Amino acid sequence: MKLSEMKANYLMTAVLTLMLTACTEKPVSPDTPYIIDGEVTGVKDGVELVLASFDGDVGNLIARDTIFGGKFHFESQMEDIEVNRLGLFAVDDDFSSLKRYIYVAPGAHVKVTGNGTHIMSWKVQSKVPEQKALDELYAIHEYDFTQDVLVAEKKALKEMRSIDRNAEPERYAEARSRYNTFFNQQDSMYYVVQEKRALLMKNLKPSMPWMTELNYLARMVRTMPELTYAEDVKEMFQTLSEEWKQTKLGKEIYANLYPPQEVKVGDDCPDADFYDLEGNLHHLTEHKGKYILLDFWNSGCAGCIQAFPKMKKLYEKYNDKLAIVSMSIDTDRRWRMASEKHNLTWSNWNEGKGEGGLYTNFRTNGIPFYVLVNPEGKVIKMELGYLEDNFSALFTELFD
């Protein structure tokens, strides 16, 4: 056969292959389910696995399954989630609380394999491009030791809580000592892992998983600027393209790394652009002349939700003197869903910046977080966490 004939045959074969592929592969529609199949060894039957989506810091249950014969299966649609990163974790004493993150897409068939209870070491086979980028970020061997320490800590805490400290003080003291040892171990390992990840990230290309991790590290730097990897995180942000910097994550990273001047008791409360559920623009100056209670919250914060009934009573009793502004740091979708569920009747606003907005001015790292502003616009009190008695005493003192 001549070379020209061989080339012609090769080209014809390639064309036919492409035609057959085009005929047999169906286009994937947005509602095509994704499938996660798992096959693991060294895990007892009956272990419950939970698949959840994580929208910011808020988790949303997608499905549960139980391991039998080393196998598990999940199948769902993308309409159930807002972001395509899911967390897989086990509800079992032999597993740590850490999650194995899995990226999904319409029609994706993901295969999970592993041996033993180190769930973060389970392998994920997937054609979803973000998965490879994510797994490069988690290529840190210390995770195995961390998971063992977390399990030991969990079991030590369970043992400690089972002992009557008054009836058996010595046994309780021994159990508490064991728990403290494991707690301190995992606490120190936590920073080692974060530092190693920061160094690893410097040699990887930016991607959505990479940006998500950089934002997490930036939040740590915001609250603890003395961290050894703080300058590495800032350097990684500075080398980003403008396209990445202008994303929502990019803006939040910037706000965490370069927060505005810290606001303290006695300072003027800063203002910003806020939006209600109808998209109308608002400012704190609308409530000038009243006390303003700023309530930073999100839909996954139990204490935040617990406070709403009390806040409703306060609003109804003192609305001529007090304005309540609930400032959501949720994503837009989560905020709207929670607002519909809890029916907030006072000012319910969102900047659309997550934790990168007004929240950063107060250098807190938790919610619910409350800021009380006097009629002159000065911050007179800040409080982390909800305690009903504190609310009652404060406003009785101010208004009654």
Going by C-beta distance under 8 Å and a sequence separation of 6 or more, which residues neighbour residue 94? Answer: 44, 47, 117, 151
Clarify whether residues 392 and 283 are in a common domain.
Answer: yes
Does 25 reside within a domain?
no
Between CA 100 and CA 316 the distance in angstroms is: 46
Q: Does 7 score more than 70 pLDDT?
A: no
Neighbours of 52 (CB within 10 A): 18
Write out pLDDT tens, residues 65-120. Answer: 999 999 999 998 887 666 788 999 999 999 999 999 999 999 999 999 999 999 99
Clarify whether residues 252 and 288 are in a common domain.
Answer: no
Clarify whether residues 176 and 122 are in a common domain.
Answer: no
* Burial of 270 per CB tally in 10 Å (0-12, 13-18, 19+): middle
Clarify whether residues 290 and 394 are in a common domain.
Answer: yes
Q: What is the 3-state secondary structure (H, E, C) of 224-289?
A: CCCCCCHHHHHHHHHCCCHHHHCCHHHHHHHHHHCCCCCCCCCCECCCCCEECCCCCEECHHHHCC
Between CA 320 and CA 290 the distance in angstroms is: 8
Does 338 reside within a domain?
yes
Beta bridge partners of 125: 111
The whole-number average pLDDT for the span 37-51 is: 96
- Give the domain extent around 252: 145-257
Q: How many domains does the chain have?
A: 3
Between CA 319 and CA 321 the distance in angstroms is: 5
Residues 238 and 258: beta-carbon distance below 8 Å: no
Question: Range with the lowest mean pLDDT among 210-219, 235-244, 349-358?
Answer: 349-358
Clarify whether residues 119 and 153 are in a common domain.
Answer: no
Domain boundary, last residue among 127, 162, 191: 127
Both structure tokens of 102: 């899995």
Confidence of residue 189 (pLDDT cuts 50, 70, 90): confident
pLDDT score, position 400: 63
Residues 396 and 318: beta-carbon distance below 8 Å: no
Please name which of 351, 82, 101 lies closest in space to residue 210, comparing C-alpha atoms: 101
C-alpha 182: how far from its chain's center? 25
Domain of 88: which CATH number? 2.60.40.1110
Does 116 reside within a domain?
yes
Clarify whether residues 222 and 299 are in a common domain.
Answer: no
Query: How many contiguous H segments (helices) and E segments (strands) does the chain have?
Result: 11, 15
Write out pLDDT tens, residues 345-354. Answer: 999 999 988 8
Does 268 reside within a domain?
no
Residues 289 and 375: beta-carbon distance below 8 Å: yes
Between CA 218 and CA 285 the distance in angstroms is: 31
Residues 260 and 376: beta-carbon distance below 8 Å: no
Does 315 reside within a domain?
yes
Strands 322-328 and 291-297: parallel
3-state SS assignment for residue 138 = coil
Q: Does 3 score more than 70 pLDDT?
A: no
pLDDT score, position 325: 94
Return mean pLDDT, the chain.
86
